[in-house]
Structure 1
Amino acid sequence: MNNLLARIPLVRFLIPFVIGIVFAYLFKIQIGIPGFVFVIFSIVLLLIFQRKLLQHSLKYVGLDGVIISFAFLFLGIGCTSINSNNNNLNLVDCSKKTNALQVQLLNNAIVKEKSVKLAVEVLSWRDSLTWKRSNEKMLVYLKREPGSEKLKYGDVVLICASPTAIDGPQNPEEFDYRKWLDRQGIHAQVYAVRDEWKIISRENGNWFKAAALDLRSYFFNKLQSYGMSGTSFGVAAALLLGASDQLDPGTIQSYAASGTLHVLSVSGMHVALVYVVLLKLLLPFEKRRWGKWLSIFLQLTFLWFYATLTGLCPSVMRSVTMLSVVIAGRAFNRNAHLLNSLAASAFILLIVDPMLLFDIGFQLSYLAVVGIVMLQPKLESIWEPNQNTFHGKVLSHLWTLISVTVVAQIFTFPLGLYYFNQFPTYFLLSNLVVIPLSTIVMYAGLFLLIISPFKIIAVPFAHVFQFLVDLLNECVVLVEHLPFAVLTSAKWGFLELVLIYLGIGLLIFYLLKRYNLLLHLGLSVFFLLIVSVGCGVRKKLQNREIVIFNLKHASGIVVINGADHVLFADTTLLKRKGEIDFHILPLLKASGMELDKICSLQDTGIFKNNFVHQGRNFMMACGKKIAIVGRNFNANTYTTCDILLLKDNANVNLSDLLLLMKPTLVVVDGSDSKWKIQKWLACCKTSAIDFYDITKHGALIITP
């Protein structure tokens, strides 16, 4: 163990560095550059002082390691603080009116169905008094039209509209888009129509990034010119060029359910595939004088060219940086431990952008690679097929693929449970089919891009490539529709995530070192994990609540009774599956449930089971009676109630209704217009009855 730790010093220093980043982010520590320099200078003085103490007494041996660890802890805090300060120069005050913004595009425009999305940097902004310089990142949404679709990286645009703060999640367990953007340094957004913006200048960005994005757009257009569209184009663009924004939600769900979502994210696996081809092609150089250095130069050149091909996609940049450090480490020190090289690449990436630590792709990439480096050789050595026969070579390659897949899944499935509350049951089967097939698709796609200038060859080969992409999609869909393809679990907390990784780590070190103490500690940790998960499941089974969701132009109510549920929704909402998946399904998945019981609020019949009773214009659950008053409400069917839900801009006299129904709480939702809500609010204030506006305060949770 000590020998291993001695060979991976950067891993030991990476741990306090990461802790420093987390600490600075959670507690919003701001120390600035002068304070950071002072802390590091003080630590250097401590190290010098400690060396002096060692000359007089050996009892201070090891103190230098503690001091260095604290140095890296403060380095993590300092990098995070400085990064935060650099993104906080004269932030736009969203609470006040802003007359104008001068912004520069950070990427090419992303064209949506009805709008154009821009990621920009605010160069300056004007309030009622003066212009102020800034470097804040912001999202801009423009109405889709020919002019807005052609906006490109580096363009400077003047926008005469006021930005607004980005809202947090409005429904329980909903994806926190605000937090996700906050980690990217984005805190505000602005909407503008045609008369509220104009282009000031073109192409003022970095020429290299502009060239990379132009190259990516060129290959986009080439794929589309070959007749690729829909799912085939989305998968091809994601596989080859890292354009995940071209994927539709259904395709993403299919790949996630089969355990092969990583295939659609250009990352370590894809870069490694390119690297394998480079190694084969450059192998002859290794045998010549200076050939090793020429080979390394060409490897790095081609890897970074591939990164350029994808438009300097962040996930590819991360993977290419990782592999570049590994190549350099092997070049200068052939005995360097691979974990040390991985730690060095992580240092480089996190010093440049500490918020990468919270990126799911970053976490999955490094965990998978660390698992493969540490455990895969041990697992593969359990069985060694005879390499002297063709049958044995096939089995050997198959066993290598199985061992890599199993180890990568062991190290990444806890994150899947933590973030997505699901586990793909057939991950091994799907990866055995999809990884080889996606490898062929990727090589075929790269070859197609290379020969694209030669139309006479490229056009026929494009049909072969599309067939391969369609075959890949069919295999994924086939696995998705197998029985029990996905196991849904109740929401895992951070404590469960730490316990499972601690347990896995202890058991792995036991397998490597055979210390019985590690086995006992690992089993103890898994026992604590079982207890913690069991307590969470017990709490979920006792849960009884009604949730009225915040939805646009629709109403949705979920009644939960332990492990059972019913969704009551407008018929218009039931046709918008994407909104249900985003706003409602996360709550059910957090409780370990899938959406399988649905009723329409427009039904005139009666629905009744052991925990909810729905009739015409009313609902009873959790000991509460809710009157549901919509556009077609019949005043003759009124009944007294605890809660009155007004929806669809109900055409009623609320004062009379309050006297008849005697509710203690009036609720309005996203199906109501703002002027109606204001009118009803005034009425409730006059009648001294509590009023809850879901569009303003978020979903309403009602418990017994």
Structure 2
Amino acid sequence: MSSFRLQTRQLTFVRILFPFMAGICAGCFSEFNAILYWLLLTVAILILVLTTHFNRQINKTRWRKYKGLAINFSFILTGFCTSGLHNELVYKDHFTSHSSDYLLVKITDPPIRKGVNLQFKANVVMAVKNNVQKQASGNLLVTINTPKDLNYNEYILIKAKFKETTPPQNPFEFDYKRYLQFKNIHYQTYLQAEEYKIVKHEEKFDLTLWSIRVREQCVQLFNKYIPKTENAGISAAFLLGYRADLSPEIVNGFTNTGTLHILSVSGLHVTIIYLVINTLLLFLNRFKRGKLIKTVLVLILIWLYALITGMSPAVCRSAFMISVVAVAEGTNRYTNIYNSIAVSVFFLLLLDPYLLFDVGFQLSYIAVWGIIYFQPKIYSWVYTENKLLNYVWSMTSVSLAAQLATFPLSIYYFHQFPNYFLIANILVIPLATVILFGGILLLSVSFMPSLAGLIGLCLTNIIDLMNWILLKLSHLPFATFNGIWINNYSLLLLTLIIITIGYRLSEKSKAAWNLTFILIISFIISFNLENLMKFQENELLIFSIKGNTVLACKNQNRLQLIADQENLGKSYAFSIKPYVDRSNAQVNIDSLGSNLKSRHLVKHKNYIQFYDVRISIIDDQFRYFKPVKKLKVDYLLISGRKNLNISDLINMYEFDTLIIDKSVAEYYANKMELQCKKLGIKTINIYQSTALRIAI
């Protein structure tokens, strides 16, 4: 049998994983009663039990050819029901089904301080109406304007005012609503300090709370013994997955060099921890049942580490896989690595089916598959007996394998490619390994202040060297290719290209090369057609940004932004930059008060004409006068006004539509909209819609 065609009896979980994931995808687009899901799940389990129990009898009948179909259907149904039952909205006691005055909620994530606000995920426990308590369920994203800190596992009574999470307001903006939905959060609330009250409760031992406190103590030790706060934050990120103290510049440095995976606790970190634990416990192999005791201790310590680091998908995947390897080693059994990966995917998705849509989960598993499948083949291209060169080539082959496998999804999600990822990984991973071991050593000897301080000093010097390398690499010319946007069809083509390359590396097939060539040509055509369509797009856009008026005039490969940039702050990066990057155009930014003139765009004071579209901006500088003849425009854009006499606008302008953007306070925007409706004026209130795109 060829190496590509692995024996299917060793890949049981690989075979059932695909129908199971298909069922999860189908379940995410449906919403039925919880009872129906339980009934369907019972049917799926019955099919599995019957086909397994009567396997021999079925094999002797003509129905044997349908056995595989029945098993696949049962796992599709299992995935469908698992996904449906995970959705909080299908349960009758969800807090939105109650009319309530107050909600009793439990803080289920460590609260994060964002300026004057405190934000956290909470689980609704009770709904209160007229002092009557009723059991309730569901998750809520809570933001409180308070100087006080709250803690994980605390209970608070909050005012029952909530709304659905907000969808993207601007083109190509990050879909935070979808992100939260796959965290099983569909509603959010914003509270003032007087709208919540801490409720005392009987404290019980909570393993997650204990792990959070352990992590906090470890972070405090890093801050105590590592001289620079930023370097202490990097150590905490490496070892504990704690990234709250990292500056955006550091994160960007890792991102632009393709080494961001080092900052997130992942397979590299868990494997090193496993090797340390396994080495320390080797002496147990000498005793009777020592191997079994060692396996149990390894499993306990690995999962405790996973718990302390926050149980991210990458950590869970690594911990699960290492657990399988540890158990196999402890019981002297052979395990197929692909099946081990599939086992960990299956059980993690069984616990949380929404992980399937987590970007970190997807990239983590695809990277591992790439390393396992591609790395040996790439490594075999070069042979050297020199140990240093062999190490460098080994690291290079691992980086190439991971990058090759994750390339389609990385481009699709992040729209950039780090060109110096090979050099960065070869230089940084050894330093990261030293920092990881140094961090473990520092925590181990923290009861000896002098020694811990010396280790901390050594660590900060190594971290400074690593930061210097990343800074130099990230500022080199062409460090990254940015603004690479591909659609779903191009993503599919890229994925098929990687698969056919993988097949060709295993099977010396001419047909595989021909298919790869056809797919590459198809991708190039698809990518260029998409860019051509973007080039031909001409539009005028009014962004939906609170407190600001921002317009964009796109003419083929030129984009003119009209905004007061100094007032935008973080809004530019979150709401405007995605549109700018995706347009792939030459960008100019001018203030609202500037005058502009080009072939298709004229702006004079508050008047804008782009092609045949005419807009007059009504802002605080607007002064009413009665013209001899009404001024004719297509749109009136109300910007920053509080009080406005709509009748004055009717007397002064002849227009089709009145637009109220988010520079106007919401109360006044809604008031103006109501006045316009009474007068029969067509109105677009940006608060009630999304950014306005006017095709030219």
Q: So what's the TM-score if we normalise by structure 1?
A: 0.91
| Alpha-carbon distance in structure 1 between the residues aligned to 2:429 and 2:202 | 39
2:173 is aligned to 174
2:128 is aligned to 126
Query: Is 1:431 matched up with 2:431?
Result: no
> How far does residue 216 in structure 1 lie from its aligned partner after superposition?
0.9
> How far does residue 630 in structure 1 lie from its aligned partner after superposition?
1.8
- For the structure 1 residues 439 and 483, does the alpha-carbon distance in structure 2 shift closer, same or farther, using more than 3 Å as the test? same
Given that 1:154 and 1:203 are in contact with CA atoms closer than 8 Å, whether structure 2 keeps it comes out as no
Query: Is 1:501 matched up with 2:492?
Result: no
1:383-426 superposed Cα distances (whole Å, 9 cap, x missing partner): 1211xxxxx11111111100000110011121111112111122
- For the structure 1 residues 205 and 24, does the alpha-carbon distance in structure 2 shift closer, same or farther, using more than 3 Å as the test? farther
| Alpha-carbon distance in structure 2 between the residues aligned to 1:652 and 1:196 | 34
SS in 2 for 1:244: coil
SS in 2 for 1:702: strand
Letter in 1 for 2:601: V
| Alpha-carbon distance in structure 2 between the residues aligned to 1:325 and 1:702 | 56
Query: Is 1:526 matched up with 2:520?
Result: yes
SS in 2 for 1:649: coil
- For the structure 1 residues 685 and 191, does the alpha-carbon distance in structure 2 shift closer, same or farther, using more than 3 Å as the test? closer
Given that 1:329 and 1:341 are in contact with CA atoms closer than 8 Å, whether structure 2 keeps it comes out as no
2:622 pairs, out of 625, 633, 656, with: 633
1:115 is aligned to 117
1:100-156 superposed Cα distances (whole Å, 9 cap, x missing partner): 01111213322221111122111011245843212211122222323xx1x222221
Letter in 1 for 2:564: D
1:420 is aligned to 414
- For the structure 1 residues 289 and 45, does the alpha-carbon distance in structure 2 shift closer, same or farther, using more than 3 Å as the test? closer
| Alpha-carbon distance in structure 2 between the residues aligned to 1:293 and 1:363 | 33
Higher mean Cα deviation, 503-512 or 523-532?
523-532
2:96 is aligned to 93
Letter in 1 for 2:616: A
1:20 is aligned to 23
| Alpha-carbon distance in structure 2 between the residues aligned to 1:194 and 1:651 | 30
| Alpha-carbon distance in structure 2 between the residues aligned to 1:465 and 1:641 | 65
Letter in 1 for 2:588: K
2:402 is aligned to 408
- For the structure 1 residues 35 and 199, does the alpha-carbon distance in structure 2 shift closer, same or farther, using more than 3 Å as the test? same
> How far does residue 159 in structure 1 lie from its aligned partner after superposition?
1.4
1:339-376 superposed Cα distances (whole Å, 9 cap, x missing partner): 11111111111111111111111111100001111110
Given that 2:58 and 2:64 are in contact with CA atoms closer than 8 Å, whether structure 1 keeps it comes out as no
Higher mean Cα deviation, 263-272 or 220-229?
220-229
1:389 is aligned to none
2:682 is aligned to 690
Task: Describe how 1:653-692 pairs up with structure 2 within 5 A.
Answer: 653-692=645-684
| Alpha-carbon distance in structure 2 between the residues aligned to 1:442 and 1:551 | 42
Given that 2:643 and 2:668 are in contact with CA atoms closer than 8 Å, whether structure 1 keeps it comes out as no
1:636-669 superposed Cα distances (whole Å, 9 cap, x missing partner): 7995422111112266544223332322111111
- For the structure 1 residues 71 and 144, does the alpha-carbon distance in structure 2 shift closer, same or farther, using more than 3 Å as the test? same
1:538-566 superposed Cα distances (whole Å, 9 cap, x missing partner): 21111111211111211212222233312
- For the structure 1 residues 363 and 325, does the alpha-carbon distance in structure 2 shift closer, same or farther, using more than 3 Å as the test? same
1:266 is aligned to 265
> How far does residue 77 in structure 1 lie from its aligned partner after superposition?
1.4
> How far does residue 178 in structure 1 lie from its aligned partner after superposition?
1.2
1:600 is aligned to 591
> How far does residue 182 in structure 1 lie from its aligned partner after superposition?
1.0
SS in 1 for 2:96: coil
- For the structure 1 residues 654 and 118, does the alpha-carbon distance in structure 2 shift closer, same or farther, using more than 3 Å as the test? same
1:104 is aligned to 106
> How far does residue 270 in structure 1 lie from its aligned partner after superposition?
1.5
1:40 is aligned to 45
1:461 pairs, out of 429, 435, 455, with: 455
Letter in 2 for 1:271: V
SS in 1 for 2:335: coil
| Alpha-carbon distance in structure 1 between the residues aligned to 2:483 and 2:43 | 48
> How far does residue 254 in structure 1 lie from its aligned partner after superposition?
2.8
1:394 is aligned to 388
SS in 1 for 2:548: coil
- For the structure 1 residues 309 and 678, does the alpha-carbon distance in structure 2 shift closer, same or farther, using more than 3 Å as the test? closer
Query: Is 1:452 matched up with 2:443?
Result: no
Given that 1:325 and 1:342 are in contact with CA atoms closer than 8 Å, whether structure 2 keeps it comes out as no
SS in 2 for 1:222: helix
- For the structure 1 residues 185 and 615, does the alpha-carbon distance in structure 2 shift closer, same or farther, using more than 3 Å as the test? same
SS in 2 for 1:551: coil
Q: Which runs of 5+ in 1 are unaligned?
A: 387-391
Query: Is 1:236 matched up with 2:230?
Result: no
2:553 is aligned to 559
Task: Describe how 1:233-632 pairs up with structure 2 within 5 A.
Answer: 233-282=232-281, 290=289, 292-313=291-312, 315-332=314-331, 334-386=333-385, 392-574=386-568, 576=569, 578-592=570-584, 596-603=587-594, 606-632=595-621
How many residues matched? 688
SS in 1 for 2:95: coil
| Alpha-carbon distance in structure 2 between the residues aligned to 1:702 and 1:415 | 31
| Alpha-carbon distance in structure 2 between the residues aligned to 1:277 and 1:47 | 42
| Alpha-carbon distance in structure 2 between the residues aligned to 1:41 and 1:86 | 27
- For the structure 1 residues 231 and 573, does the alpha-carbon distance in structure 2 shift closer, same or farther, using more than 3 Å as the test? farther
| Alpha-carbon distance in structure 2 between the residues aligned to 1:219 and 1:423 | 34
> How far does residue 273 in structure 1 lie from its aligned partner after superposition?
2.4
- For the structure 1 residues 288 and 486, does the alpha-carbon distance in structure 2 shift closer, same or farther, using more than 3 Å as the test? same
Letter in 2 for 1:646: I
| Alpha-carbon distance in structure 2 between the residues aligned to 1:43 and 1:9 | 14
> How far does residue 236 in structure 1 lie from its aligned partner after superposition?
2.9
2:155 is aligned to 156
Given that 2:313 and 2:360 are in contact with CA atoms closer than 8 Å, whether structure 1 keeps it comes out as no
SS in 1 for 2:655: coil
Given that 2:262 and 2:432 are in contact with CA atoms closer than 8 Å, whether structure 1 keeps it comes out as yes
* Identity across matched positions, percent: 30
Higher mean Cα deviation, 133-142 or 324-333?
324-333
Given that 1:626 and 1:645 are in contact with CA atoms closer than 8 Å, whether structure 2 keeps it comes out as yes
Given that 1:153 and 1:205 are in contact with CA atoms closer than 8 Å, whether structure 2 keeps it comes out as no
| Alpha-carbon distance in structure 2 between the residues aligned to 1:155 and 1:600 | 47
> How far does residue 201 in structure 1 lie from its aligned partner after superposition?
2.0
Letter in 1 for 2:573: D
| Alpha-carbon distance in structure 1 between the residues aligned to 2:174 and 2:278 | 42
| Alpha-carbon distance in structure 1 between the residues aligned to 2:483 and 2:564 | 28
- For the structure 1 residues 403 and 87, does the alpha-carbon distance in structure 2 shift closer, same or farther, using more than 3 Å as the test? farther
- For the structure 1 residues 461 and 586, does the alpha-carbon distance in structure 2 shift closer, same or farther, using more than 3 Å as the test? same
Given that 1:554 and 1:572 are in contact with CA atoms closer than 8 Å, whether structure 2 keeps it comes out as no
- For the structure 1 residues 347 and 429, does the alpha-carbon distance in structure 2 shift closer, same or farther, using more than 3 Å as the test? same
SS in 2 for 1:26: coil
- For the structure 1 residues 311 and 656, does the alpha-carbon distance in structure 2 shift closer, same or farther, using more than 3 Å as the test? closer
2:75 is aligned to 72
Given that 2:122 and 2:142 are in contact with CA atoms closer than 8 Å, whether structure 1 keeps it comes out as yes
Given that 1:29 and 1:81 are in contact with CA atoms closer than 8 Å, whether structure 2 keeps it comes out as yes
Letter in 2 for 1:122: V
Superposition RMSD in Å = 2.8
Q: Which runs of 5+ in 2 are unaligned?
A: none
Q: So what's the TM-score if we normalise by structure 2?
A: 0.92
| Alpha-carbon distance in structure 2 between the residues aligned to 1:283 and 1:563 | 64
Given that 2:558 and 2:587 are in contact with CA atoms closer than 8 Å, whether structure 1 keeps it comes out as no
| Alpha-carbon distance in structure 1 between the residues aligned to 2:81 and 2:643 | 59
1:136 pairs, out of 111, 114, 138, with: 138
